[in-house]
Structure 1
Amino acid sequence: MIERVLPARLHRALMPLAHLMRHYWRCWRKPPIAGVSVIIANSEGEILLLRHSYGPPVWGLPGGGLKEGEDPAQCARREVLEEVGIALGQLTLVSHFAEVISGAPHTAHVFAARSDAEPRPDMREVIAARFFPPDRLPEELGPTMRRRIAAWRDAAAMNPV
């Protein structure tokens, strides 16, 4: 992939520009898009959150965009492995959300997984990753991520392990 050809520092520097261009393209064209988010909990019940090198300075969930014809669960595994180096086992579908991102219709597939592996941010797209107790999530957590985490909590309450 082209992103592995560029040095990490240059890749990180270009991400905000690419993100801005993608935002304006979506606002103009409004293509239907789909993506995934993964709520990874460790054995202590903490949730893995990360910070991207682009976009608003908020904590978010691992995930990303679905490629043409890609299975959402496969996409979730791929994105988590690329972003934080964690190979996931079992995934549980938490919910689907119909949203709007940059003016474009977006379908979000939200999954849950468990892992005690130490996250290793790729230092390209993701610059920080750590586990947080669910009752002490950082304030810099966007409303979209809060909705997804709330859906995970609701699903867990209905199906205790």
Structure 2
Amino acid sequence: MMNRISRNLTTIYRTERLITRRRLAVVQQQTVMLALAGIAAMAGLVLLNISMYFVLKTWLPSAGSAAVLAVANLLLAFFLALTAKRTSVEEEIAPAVEVRDMAIADIEADLEGMADEARDIVMALKNLGSNPLGSLSTLLLPILTAVLKDKKN
């Protein structure tokens, strides 16, 4: 039983490390990609703004042309920010989270089983004084069960 608990604790530790590494890797990748996209977008946006300014200047005064371009740039920035926020690491780490949760549940079940066995032994010890022969069998049964389970693992 202790081997299973040890194995599950190791599994939890490893999956937590994996989850953290994946989250960090995704954040790093997002940061690099957003920085590169930002540099490329800035260069293209500057050139696009210059050309659009000259086009709009034929129909609007200079201040109006600049205002239209400013509003368009702000809308573009808003949509880019929304797109960046939608990227999530949760889908990538879902399998690791599931394995971690299974290991935790298995440890909880093992600990509950050990607690039940300990309660049975305590009750048998309490009853040993009032009924020595009958309590002896109830005392030996949980102890033998625990020993045999330990031998299996």
- Identify, as 1 or 2, the structure richer in helix: 2
Greater Cα radius of gyration, structure 1 or 2: 2
TM class by shorter-chain length? under 0.3
TM-score by length of 2: 0.20
Q: Which of 1 and 2 has higher RCO (CA within 8 Å, sep 6+)?
A: 2
